[in-house]
Each structure stands twice: as C-alpha cells, then as structure tokens.
C-alpha cells in the first residue's frame, strides 16, 4: 500500500499521541527491553507537551523582566520569546489544527483531545502574547528610554524628525511598495508567511472611477524594520523608528486624491511543514526544492492585527484567511516583536550587554602543532561555549590539507551560512580526499541552506547523500582516516551540538575528540549504514537510534531500580532539551518508586509529572535558562559505583528515539567524566539563580538561588572581565507581569 506522509508527520504522530508502544515492534531487529508497569500509563501522570512548551516560552519572557540581566539582553529575551511562539504556531499548533480539520481522534499523552489542546493553546498563547506586549510597553521601552535609547512612535516625532523620516520614505521605501486596491480585477493578494502588511480603508473615486474602499499594502522583507535616526536630529539620544510607523505615517501618499479612513497592520502565520512523498520521489533534494516556495503561502494558523483594528476589518481578514475568531490576536505594538532583536546589535552600549569572553583553547591542543598526535595520546573533551569550537574547525582544515589524510566523512544537520567547515570539506575534495557528507536536507527551517551546501559539495566532487528515507539524520559525527607509520588510524569527533561555529558560542554543548579504535569502528559502521545497504551490525561502544539507544537507556534506568531495591546507592542525572517519550518516562517512574534519586535538567518541554505521591516522589525536574542556550545532552548513572556517563545528540522524545538517526557516546576517561559531571550536571542542581523547578501541576517556580552557573563556568574555564553593572549575586529586583 502506498504511504504518503507529511514531512515530519511521523514525528508529529509519535510526539502527539500514545504511539510508542505501537512503534516498539516496528523494526525486525527490536530486542526485548524492560517494559514499565502498565500502572504508569494513566494520563494523569503526564503533562501536555504543547502546554509545557508554552510554559517554556513564559520562562524565556521572564528573563526579559529580570533586571539582574543587562537591559539589551532582556530585550533580546523578549524577541526570542516572540520568535519561539511564531515557530510554535507554525509547527505545533499547525499540526493540531491539521489533525482537527481531518477529524483525527488521536488523544494526547495526558488524555486531552485535539480540540481540547487547541482550546488550551489558544488560552495560553493569548495570555503569553498580552504579557509580551506589556513587558515591552510598560517595562523595557521605559527603561531603554532612561538609557537614552528610544524607539519613537509617530505621535512624538519632532518637526525635524518628521521631515527626515518623510525624505527617507520617499527615497528608500515608497519606490518599493505596491498598493493593491481590491476589486474583481485585483483579488486579495497572496500574503507571505509572517510578513508585514497593511489593510487600508479609503474613500473616493480613483482615476478609473473605481470606488472599492479597501486596499492592501505588502511591505517587502528587503526593507529594514528598524531605522536609525541621525544624532543631528535626536540630540543625546540613540533613536530609531519602526518601518511600520514610517509606512503608516505616509500611507496617504500611496493613494493620491483619496481619503484614507483607516490603516491597520496585520500579519498572518502559516503552517510551515513540508509535504514529501518519501516513497514516490526519486530525488528528495529536487522534491524539497519544489516544496519550499509553497511553505510561504500554506494554510493560515494565526492572524495578528493592531489593537485598534475595527471588528469589521478583522472579520474581513479572518474570512480571507479562513480562520475562526479564536485565531485572531490583537497586539499593542508592532505585529512582529522579533524584529526588535536587531536593536541589540545596533545600539552601541556594551554596558547594557553581557560582557565579552574568550573561549579557552584546550591545553592538550595548545601545546602541540599536531592535533592528530594530541588526540592519539588521550581523549579531548570540548565544553562549548566555555571552550573554543576552533579545534574542530582546525582539525578538519588540517585534514583537508594533510597529504596523509585519505578520507573525511561527516554528518551535517545545521551549519553556518558561510561555514568554515564546509569550506574545509570543499578544499579536501579539491585536494583529492575521499569526502563523504550526509546532509540532512529536512532540518526544519534550514532546508534551503542545506540544499545549497549539498550542491556546493557535489560540485567539487564530494560524495553527498541525504540519509535514510523516513529518518532524519540528527547524529553529529566526523570520521577522519589518516595514513600513519603503523597503518591507518581513524580520528573521530562526536557532539551533542551542530557543526555551527556561531551557535557554538551561544549554546552549551559537549564534544569529544578521540582515536579510540572501538568508537572509530562504530562510527565507520554508522556511516556505512547511512550511505549503503546491509543488515544492522552491533556496535561496540556507541548507542544509536532508532536501534539500541532507547532500549539501553531503559535497561540502565531499570538497573538503577534494581540497585536501589538492593540497598545500593542509586542515582540518575539527565540533562537534555526535552523529555516527552512515554515509555522512558514510565521507566523513570518505576525507578523513582524503587527509591532511585533522579534529577532531570530539562530546558524545554517535559511531559513527566514530578512529585506525584508514590510515583515520582524521588524525581526533581529543573529548567535552566541563561545567557547561553542549554543544549548539551548528558546522562549519568551511578551504576553501582561504576558511574557511567553518556553524551548524546538525542533528546528523550519519540521522534529522536524512533524516527531519527542519533548517536550516544560514552565518556570513559575518569578525569573527563568527573569534570563533565561537575561542570554540566551537578553545578545546575545547587543554588542556581537561573533555574526553575517544575511543580506537579505543570507550572514552574524560580528556585531563588544566588549563583549563576553559566557566569561561574565562564570564570572557571573561559576568560571574561568582571561585570561592572550587573548584579549576579542576587538581590536584584524582578518585574512581575500582571495577569492578563
């Protein structure tokens, strides 16, 4: 039977419904793992993923109101909260809306129906949006103004400022705008996803005698959304105007001889998933290239309008986008808060930003000019961003020019637009190396960039494959094969993060450089599995999805329960971005019931409900937010005193464990193991100012700590000047959002 599934629809299915048990027997190679007690399957024991994600964005917004954080960084947190919510609508809400439209009866992990989830999403998102705009208007803009940083509304422009802005509009903006009057010859235009638009109400006859009354003005994305005013007309202030204000103020010039009765900005958010028939297409790259343009005009999932937009206008727009009233959001300010994020870079106020730092270069590599020799002598761990990502880039560059290097193999999920790693791979191919890259074309929102880099690599003769049909390749690994006096030696880099030099300075991640023969052999087999054909071969040290990872993790959890029942020390610490996979959660409940002390550091969505009497009394869930995005995935097991530590590319989500190619690698060097346990796990479980603890009901509360672990790690590992004005030792007041 021919199966047509939406790009990522299998992931949506796994994460939205109670499907893991059904999927458990999907592969012929499945082994029998520990099956948690069916008593832990009750919906009351689980939290809803979508509502948990909204809670995460509420925690991000709270960072914008914490005045221990530099002011421009707080504005940045507000914009992150807004752009996160955009993606939530494009992906999560869109998937539920699609299921509801097609009459799906699938229930959530917590027993909610699709319709209930949509209702709850609407309530939670509406409250969050209202709080975002109150944070902007009542807190951040007034505080920025105190620092002589101003975003000027139209009603406060001086005559001189208004004249400069009018000239700017005539020269830089008006020539690009194309107003469309609506009539039978000019139907309602196609509106680009998340673009800035105006609906304009006009009165009077035009040159052709038409009197339609309604026009639409679309603002191209090529225009900057924030425009700096010259100091000659602002005095001591650094001042900007929003492009939306500039267009609004001059909208009448687009309709000469007509009376403008109203002008209202609006923005529509669309479903951003892609349709791909994996069984029918012959070339997934060509299929995605054909689908990407359609994403911009897919089904609408949300309409945002200015708060003063009349009901008849918003109703008209809802009808055009085929949306119900519940999907209308009125906002008190620009319809896209994310656009304010550029102010962070434009404002020359280092005192209102996080202090700069210099990442440490590992000592083993700093002492030698030969990275291969250093890696052969001992494993090297890289704890980003406190330690530099440069050794990874340098290693691949060195391999590209080293005459003894014969082959380089690498997975690429996300990378920089002008990636130094891709440039090194291009050089390697041009130098005659055997270069093989597994490029994941379907990395959400990076599809176009990955198509470009795949084409770039193919053009120089690199062998490029796109992974396995039906499975995203999310593993992060590099294999370098080098001819040395004693034969071929393989060098490996594995990581919890992407090959992206930019995010390596903004995300916490763990990378391992090793020449361990067993790990290199495992990585060799994994690349063969991704590029060729053949039955699954057992790995010696690595765990991988969709094969062994979930079973081995559950086995290790179960063994901790056995140890606890036997009176032995039993402890689990797991850190990751999300925990939503039902059977793993049930295994943790069983371990908790046996007396295992479990600490979970889950940055984002968590479906596990802690603190349930008799079930999860021994489980604590903590979310950490700070300057850096906590992205590393580490799992520690006491293991009867053996103290096992694993780093992984995978979260404990159904999509990662069942429908992605993932890797999980052991940290075996004792000194490295102890260091990572201290630096990336235990430090977050103490007196942590950046932490939020999850309550049994699904809400989070601040821990009230006084130590910022990320600041502490910067002091310990990297080089950073002492902050002048930021109080990181506690005592700083926080603004509280009033209930909507």
414 is annotated as contributing to ligand binding: yes
What is the Cα 595 distance to its own chain's centre?
A: 34
Does the annotation place 700 within a ligand binding site?
Answer: no
Q: How distant, in Å, are the alpha carbons of 191, 216, 294, 530, 548 from that of 187?
A: 12, 10, 19, 48, 55
User: Which H or E run contains 126?
Assistant: helix 114-134
Residue in 92, 83, 695 with CA at minimum distance from that of residue 338: 83
Burial of residue 19 (number of CB atoms within 10 Å: 0-12, 13-18, 19+): middle
Q: How far is 702 from 596, CA to CA, in rounded Å? A: 25
Looking at the DSSP assignment, which residues form a beta bridge with residue 514?
Answer: 492
* Own/partner long-range contacts of 454-460 (Cβ < 8 Å, ≥24 apart): 454/285, 455/285, 456/422, 456/426, 457/422, 457/425, 457/426, 457/429, 460/426, 460/429, 460/430
Could you give the CA distance from residue 245 to residue 167 in angstroms, rounded to a whole number? 14
Tell me which DSSP letter residue 296 carries: T
Asked if residue 371 has a cis previous peptide bond (ω within 30° of 0), the answer is: no
Query: Cα dihedral sign for 253, 258, 259, 264?
Result: negative
Residue 701 contacts residue 695 (beta carbons within 8 Å): yes
Cis amide prior to 385 (ω within 30 degrees)? yes
And the tokens for 102?
């097609």
Give, rounded to a whole angstrom, the gap between the first and last alpha carbons of the chain.
51
What whole-number distance in Å separates Cα of residue 528 and Cα of residue 551? 22
User: Annotation-wise, does 170 bind a ligand?
Assistant: no
Q: What six digits make up the tokens of 117?
A: 């989830």
Contact 693, 674 (CB under 8 A): no
Q: Of 10, 96, 474, 493, which is the active-site residue?
A: 474
Residues of 697-724 as b/e, b for ≥16 C-beta within 10 angstroms?
Answer: ebebeebeeebbbbbebbeebbebeeee
592 conformational bin, left if phi > 0, alpha if psi -120 to 50, beta if neither = alpha
Pure H helices in 296-446? 311-320, 343-346, 363-366, 371-377, 390-401, 420-430
Q: Two tokens at 108? A: 């959530």
> How far, in Å, are 80, 349, 703, 727 from residue 68 at the CA level?
18, 17, 15, 5
Nearest alpha carbon to residue 183 among 151, 158, 216: 216
Three-state SS for 177-203 is CEEEECECCECCCCCCCCCEEEEEEEE
**Would you tell me how many other CB atoms lie within 10 Å of the CB of residue 230?**
9
CA-nearest of 475, 461, 466 to 438 is 466
Is 386 among the annotated ligand-binding positions? no
283, 101 in Cβ contact below 8 A?
no
User: Does the active-site annotation cover 525?
Assistant: no
Residue 565 annotated in ligand binding = no
CB 571 within 8 A of CB 560: yes
**In angstroms, rounded to a whole number, what is the distance separating the alpha carbons of residues 315 and 625?**
39
Closest residue by Cα to residue 332 from 261, 265, 262, 250: 265
Tell me if 505 is assigned to a ligand binding site: no
Residues contributing to the annotated binding site:
84, 414, 444, 507, 603, 631
Catalytic residues: 474
Residues contributing to the annotated binding site for Mg(2+):
414, 444
Residues contributing to the annotated binding site for ATP:
84, 507, 603, 631
């Amino acid at each position: 039977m021919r199966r047509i599934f939406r790009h990522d629809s299998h992931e949506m299915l796994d994460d939205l419904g109670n499907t893991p048990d059904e999927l458990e027997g999907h592969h012929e190679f499945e082994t029998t793992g520990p099956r948690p007690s069916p008593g832990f399957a009750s919906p009351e024991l689980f939290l809803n993923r979508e509502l948990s994600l909204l809670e995460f964005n509420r925690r991000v917004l709270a960072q914008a109101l914490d005045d221990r954080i530099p002011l421009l960084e707080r504005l940045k947190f507000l914009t992150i909260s807004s752009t996160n919510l955009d993606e939530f609508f494009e992906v999560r809400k869109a998937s539920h809306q699609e299921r509801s439209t097609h009459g799906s009866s699938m229930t959530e992990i917590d027993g909610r129906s699709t319709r209930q989830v949509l209702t709850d999403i609407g309530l939670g998102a509406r409250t969050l949006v209202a709080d975002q705009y109150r944070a902007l208007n009542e807190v951040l803009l007034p505080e920025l103004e105190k620092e002589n940083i101003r975003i000027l509304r139209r009603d406060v422009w001086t005559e001189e400022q208004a004249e400069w802005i009018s000239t700017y509009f005539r020269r830089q903006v008006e020539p690009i705008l194309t107003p469309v009057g609506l009539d039978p010859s000019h139907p309602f235009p196609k509106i680009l996803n998340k673009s800035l638009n105006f609906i304009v109400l006009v009165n009077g006859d035009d040159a052709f005698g038409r009197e339609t009354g309604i026009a639409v003005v679309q603002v191209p994305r090529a225009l900057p959304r924030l425009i700096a005013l010259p100091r000659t007309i602002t005095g001591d202030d650094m001042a900007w105007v929003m492009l939306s204000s500039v267009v609004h103020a001059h909208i009448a010039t687009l309709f000469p001889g007509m009376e403008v009765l109203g002008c209202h900005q609006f923005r529509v958010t669309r479903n951003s998933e892609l349709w791909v028939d994996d069984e029918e297409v012959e070339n997934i790259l060509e299929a995605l290239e054909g689908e990407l343009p359609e994403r911009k005009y897919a089904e609408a999932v949300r309409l945002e309008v200015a708060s003063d937009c009349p009901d008849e206008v918003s109703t008209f727009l809802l009808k055009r986008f085929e949306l119900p009233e519940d999907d209308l959001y009125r906002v008190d300010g620009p319809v896209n808060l994310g656009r304010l994020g550029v102010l962070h870079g434009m404002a020359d106020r280092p005192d209102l930003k996080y202090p700069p730092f210099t990442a440490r270069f590992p000592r083993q590599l700093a002492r030698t000019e030969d990275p291969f020799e250093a890696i052969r002598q001992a494993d090297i761990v890289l704890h980003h961003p406190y330690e530099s990502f440069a050794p990874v880039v340098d290693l691949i560059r060195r391999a590209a020019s080293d005459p003894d290097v014969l082959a380089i193999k690498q997975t690429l999920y996300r990378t920089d637009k002008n990636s130094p790693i891709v440039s090194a791979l291009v050089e390697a191919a041009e130098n005659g190396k055997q270069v093989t890259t597994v490029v994941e074309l379907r990395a959400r929102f990076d599809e176009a960039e990955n198509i470009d880099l795949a084409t770039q690599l193919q053009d120089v003769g690199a062998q490029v494959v796109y992974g396995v049909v039906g499975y995203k390749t999310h593993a992060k690994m590099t294999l370098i094969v080098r001819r040395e006096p004693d034969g071929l030696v393989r060098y490996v880099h594995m990581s919890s993060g992407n090959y992206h030099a930019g995010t390596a300075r903004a995300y916490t991640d763990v990378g391992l450089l090793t020449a361990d023969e067993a790990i290199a052999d495992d990585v060799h087999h994994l690349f063969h599995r991704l590029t060729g054909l053949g039955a699954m071969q057992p790995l010696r040290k690595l765990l991988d999805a969709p094969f062994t990872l979930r079973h081995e993790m559950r086995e290790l959890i179960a063994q901790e329960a056995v140890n606890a029942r036997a009176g032995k020390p039993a402890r689990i610490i797991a850190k990751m971005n999300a925990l939503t996979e039902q059977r793993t959660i049930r295994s943790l409940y069983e371990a908790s019931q046996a007396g295992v002390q479990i600490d979970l550091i889950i940055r984002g969505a968590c479906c596990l409900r802690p603190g349930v009497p008799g079930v999860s009394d021994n489980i604590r869930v903590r979310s950490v937010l700070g300057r850096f995005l906590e992205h590393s995935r580490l799992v520690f097991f006491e293991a009867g005193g053996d103290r096992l530590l694993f780093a992984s590319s995978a979260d404990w989500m159904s999509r990662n464990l069942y429908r992605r190619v993932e890797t999980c690698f052991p940290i075996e060097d004792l000194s490295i193991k102890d260091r990572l346990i201290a630096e990336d796990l235990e430090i977050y479980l103490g007196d942590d100012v950046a932490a939020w603890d999850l309550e049994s009901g699904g809400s989070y509360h601040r821990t009230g700590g006084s130590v910022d672990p990320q600041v502490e790690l910067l002091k310990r590992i990297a080089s950073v000047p002492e902050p002048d004005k930021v109080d990181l030792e506690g005592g700083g007041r926080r603004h509280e959002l009033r209930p909507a």
